[in-house]
Structure 1
Amino acid sequence: MLRALYARVAQRLVADRRLVHYVDVPAGDAATTPWSDLGFGRELVQGLMAVKARGRQPRGVDGMVIRRAGPGDLPQVGRMAAESARRQRGTATFQPQPEAALAALRVRYAGALGDPRCAAWIASRRGEEIGMVLLAPAEPDPVVPASCVELLETYVEPASRGEGISRVLLATAVAWAYDNGHRYMSARWPSASPLAAGHFPAIGFRPVAYRLSRVLDSRLTGQAGTF
């Protein structure tokens, strides 16, 4: 049935020069195999983690200070968000990140930093920002329950990775989420990223959904149109 439906829809999409196709499915082979047979590959993973009351907290990092971020921290948050996206250009993710998109990302979270329903923290050491985390309420859907907060951004400077900074930032975010009535946290990450693919499951996120994509050869219609 999926093949028949997609064949009918895809015919119209290709006629409109829409050559990049996406589908969101629940995690697991039963949901993804039919789409794999149609040429779709996994692009993003969506994970879910239960938010619980404070347990044992990770050890602090020498010389590191964490503070709550506000509207005045947009330059720092925007810089780190853009740098996180820029690194997706590399192996093995290979996702184009145009400079215009990175510029837009630098100011994307202006509203979130001033919204009391959202929260962000910045980690600093010796006066330099070395990491951040940003949360916002998640929209419930078939795989995201109510009372869920989304991990919109998380970043640690490459030179400071491996010290436990991300775990301290996440513990701070989880404590805030629980105190504010959230019982789940969701996150998305590129499935091809060597760093993210190991990091997010290791800190407690369980895959619940995948975004699959298929890119058709532009020789079918000429230069690809919109998605």
Structure 2
Amino acid sequence: MSELQKLQQLVEQRRSIYALSSQLPVSNSEVVKLVEHAILHTPSSFNSQSTRIIVLFGDEHHKLWQLTEDTLRSIVDNDEQFASTKQKIDSFKAGAGTVLFFEDHKVIRALQEKAPLYADKFPIWAQHTSAMHQYVIWTALASVNIGASLQHYNPVIDAKVAETWDVDRDWELVAQMVFGAIEQPAGDKAFEPLNKRLKVFG
């Protein structure tokens, strides 16, 4: 198999996996190494390196989803409506860990001051940078048969996350990636026709 084929296989293998368990096929330290590699080698606009990451395992991972459940419970009064939310959060708790993705506004402000012509673009480009980190880490997890899904409970949980893990006030929470052992693979995926999504000239 060529290197290109291996890459394409990993791209296909990376899916949203929701049925997870806590028994990872690799050690926690190996997961951290995957994240470290992504932080070092994922590109960013103007080489900003503005992405910040916190990895939670075990009890700390469970703590995140418990505070998420508690926060949402205080907002949703209807028990029937909350039941489906709790079921989803329980599935996250069953995983092994969570990667929290942040963007550092201190870095963004510095770039805005340095290149004022693009000041309004830097917050947008920071989101692009975060998305690339998310994709690289997600694909790297898939390469070692770890399932994951990307969640967005920010900004509802931002304050409690910052308080619980002593997060710098300039770090904005962007996404939460739950990961764990794959208990059930993703289902079939429907694709929109390429001729609606791609144009080629020349």
Pair in the same fold by TM > 0.5:
no
Q: TM-score, normalised by structure 2?
A: 0.30
Q: TM-score, normalised by structure 1?
A: 0.28
Tell me which structure has the larger Cα radius of gyration: 1
Name the structure with the higher strand share: 1
Name the structure with the higher helix share: 2
